[in-house]
Homo-oligomer: A and B are copies of this chain.
């Protein structure tokens, strides 16, 4: 009989729901060497009990310490806002729990470093949930690049565009408050793009950045006459050098009219290119120089076939997946890493390096000059 792994999930809102769903269906579609058990969910709002029932958790609690200190719990899943990750993760590591933590890992490289060190010292598995690595199309891009099908990489262009607060009457929310959110689109959206760049191309060397707050004041919800100053960036543009010489160019924005969740990237190398867009996440565009010139062109690959990663576990060929499947794939990888005591990925190390890039971007936006990645780390 397979070993059971008891999960304690902290957070029951958007991310808590996505993680719950992943646990609920991963056993149905994937062959696991262990059995995850939805033991306890933790939250601080009134609808927690309803959520626990709906999502299928055996118990619920308002105390995250209770979860972390519960000797029955094997896995602590941190799906709370970023300013709480550090505290919870350190405690969980201390209790020897395996940890899956939402991104960005922390608010600063310093915090991230402590989390990484704590998890390593505790010899637990640790994963930061950069879930888009687990898209079949992104996994295919990764394999194509690692196989050398694109040759030497020259360019990475990454953009993440949304438009949810485009309307100036959209109210002030916590994401617009620097003291809580740290940064705006450059961190919230940027962390995903930066992770994909690191995953596909390699480490950043330095960055230059400019950011903007387009709507400088907004009303509080239901208080039209009470204005608050927006202190996080609405958008940022940055360019980068990677350690291997690749040129990087980036744009993150929550004010790009018409784009709902448009995370897109293009990678160009000496032998080919790949192009991806999250709004069409079942597709990958690929160009290679290896085919006859007169019939060459970008191929639109439907990444929905049994030969593509994770796809065989779902449906027959051509049946497209959705956004939430990434969480299922991530949990599958995480659980198998625990079961087989193999490397988990993306790990807190990835979370730390990501944080260092974000810190450099933020510093560059302020200092208005090129900033070397890792430099700002000691300052924290």
Which residues of A are interface residues toward B (Cβ below 8 A)?
14, 17-18, 20-21, 24-25, 27-28, 54-56, 140, 144, 149-150, 152, 154-155, 157, 159, 161-162, 164, 166-168, 208-212, 214, 234-241, 245, 247-251, 253, 255-262, 268-273, 278-283, 285-289, 291, 293-302, 304-305, 307-308, 314-325, 368-370
* Alpha-carbon gap, A293 to B307, bound state (A): 7
Write the nearest CB–CB distance from A209 to chain B, whole angstroms: 7
Write the nearest CB–CB distance from A322 to chain B, whole angstroms: 3
Q: Which residues of B contact A144 (CB under 8 A)?
A: 295
Q: Which residues of B contact A245 (CB under 8 A)?
A: 212, 214
Q: Which residues of B contact A279 (CB under 8 A)?
A: 282, 302, 318, 320
Q: This chain: how many copies in the complex?
A: 4
Closest Cβ neighbor of A272 among chain B residues: B257
Write the nearest CB–CB distance from A204 to chain B, whole angstroms: 12
The reply to whether B297 and A296 contact each other, CB–CB distance below 8 Å, is no
* Alpha-carbon gap, A325 to B325, bound state (A): 12
The reply to whether B247 and A210 contact each other, CB–CB distance below 8 Å, is yes
The reply to whether A154 and B255 contact each other, CB–CB distance below 8 Å, is yes
* Alpha-carbon gap, A281 to B209, bound state (A): 31
From A14, A144, A159, A296, residue with most partner B Cβ within 10 Å: A296
From B54, B273, B308, A27 is in contact (CB under 8 Å) with B54
From B237, B295, B315, A324 is in contact (CB under 8 Å) with B315
Pick the 9 closest A-B CB pairs, nearest first: A260-B318, A261-B318, A258-B287, A322-B322, A297-B301, A297-B299, A237-B249, A208-B208, A319-B323
Q: Which residues of B contact A56 (CB under 8 A)?
A: 28
Q: Which residues of B contact A149 (CB under 8 A)?
A: 295
Write the nearest CB–CB distance from A48 to chain B, whole angstroms: 15
Given the interface pairs A239-B209, A289-B166, the reply to whether A299 lies near B296 with Cβ below 8 Å is yes
The reply to whether B238 and A258 contact each other, CB–CB distance below 8 Å, is no
* Alpha-carbon gap, A369 to B208, bound state (A): 8
Given the interface pairs A237-B247, A253-B268, A258-B287, the reply to whether A301 lies near B296 with Cβ below 8 Å is yes
The reply to whether B289 and A257 contact each other, CB–CB distance below 8 Å, is yes
Write the nearest CB–CB distance from A9 to chain B, whole angstroms: 14
Q: Which residues of B contact A280 (CB under 8 A)?
A: 280
